[in-house]
């Protein structure tokens, strides 16, 4: 790359949403920016936004303008695909952007909650690959009363028909009469794993929603709506899978 090739680093960072050019210059001057693994201190450094791997404070910054990252709250009864040959409602019915997006993993048709959408193939692959162990948190409604040692049993693990499974975290979120909401976190994504796990210990799930996928939270996002992820959230996703 010659001196006249590429784009000034501070401009690339500003256009990626990190902050103003002046702020980005301060980040560079403080040694908080790396390009392809090397710290950069020179404001005039030029990079190729399409190929450079840039980190700020250790978090990856996506500089490819065509990349898109969204969170969607999948309603109950909607299939987790971008098209359905049987004509059922699917994710595409709620997506209002022109880019072709892929869903990161799936949720059961009867399960609502957080699904990530992106056209970043490498990130999507890592987020769903078992070796990266990205945690996912669910809110499940079950019927109580529940024993005090239920969390311990789930974290110790139970044996399902396709092998052992266990929860990473478990807590009672709310309880009204016999209606109990529990929060359960797992780092695997076998089919119906939360429902099967709770059923195995004697508490079939009545309703289920995913509220977190790695560092991304569902928050107040309403069913059937989507939002773009922030620069910070995208960086956290990259960090979660070692990119």
The string of pLDDT tens digits covering residues 87-141 is 899 999 999 888 899 999 899 999 999 999 999 999 999 999 989 999 999 999 9
CATH 1.10.486.10 for domain 69-130+221-240, yes or no, is: no
Q: pLDDT tens digits, residue range 167-224?
A: 999 999 998 989 999 999 999 878 899 999 999 999 999 999 999 999 999 999 999 9
Residue with tokens 């692959």: 125
Question: How far, in Å, are 3, 20, 44, 217 from residue 191 at the CA level?
Answer: 52, 45, 51, 21
The CATH number of 7-61 is 3.10.290.10
Residue-range domain boundaries for the chain: 7-61, 69-130+221-240, 135-213
Q: Would residue 48 show up in a list of annotated catalytic residues for this protein? A: no
Q: Which of 36, 93, 108, 149 is catalytic?
A: 108
Q: What is the dihedral of CA 139, 170, 172, 191, to 10 degrees?
A: 30
CATH of domain 135-213: 3.30.2350.10
pTM (predicted TM-score)? 0.89
Q: Tell me, what's the pLDDT at 2?
A: 45
**Helix (H/G/I), strand (E/B), else coil: 172:** strand
């Amino acid at each position: 790359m010659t001196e006249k090739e590429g784009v000034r680093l501070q401009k690339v960072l500003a256009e990626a949403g990190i902050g103003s050019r002046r702020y980005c210059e301060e980040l560079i001057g403080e040694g908080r920016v790396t390009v392809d693994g090397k710290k950069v201190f020179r404001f005039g450094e030029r990079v190729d936004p399409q190929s450079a791997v840039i980190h700020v404070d250790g978090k990856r910054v996506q500089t490819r303008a065509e990349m898109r990252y969204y969170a969607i709250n999948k309603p109950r009864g909607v299939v987790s695909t971008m098209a359905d040959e049987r004509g059922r409602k699917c994710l595409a019915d709620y997506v209002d952007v022109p880019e072709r997006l892929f869903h990161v993993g799936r949720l059961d048709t009867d399960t609502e909650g957080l699904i990530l959408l992106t056209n970043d193939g490498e990130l999507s692959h890592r987020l769903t690959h078992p070796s990266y162990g990205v945690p996912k948190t669910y809110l499940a409604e079950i019927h109580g009363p529940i024993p005090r040692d239920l969390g311990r049993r789930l974290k110790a693990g139970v044996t399902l028909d396709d092998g052992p499974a266990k929860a990473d975290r478990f807590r009672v979120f709310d309880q009204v009469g016999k209606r109990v909401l529990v929060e359960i976190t797992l780092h695997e994504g076998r089919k119906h794993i939360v429902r099967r796990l709770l059923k195995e210990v004697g508490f079939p799930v009545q309703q289920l929603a995913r509220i977190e996928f790695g560092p991304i939270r569902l928050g107040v996002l309403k069913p059937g709506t989507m939002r773009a992820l922030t620069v910070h959230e995208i960086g956290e996703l990259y960090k979660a899978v070692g990119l």
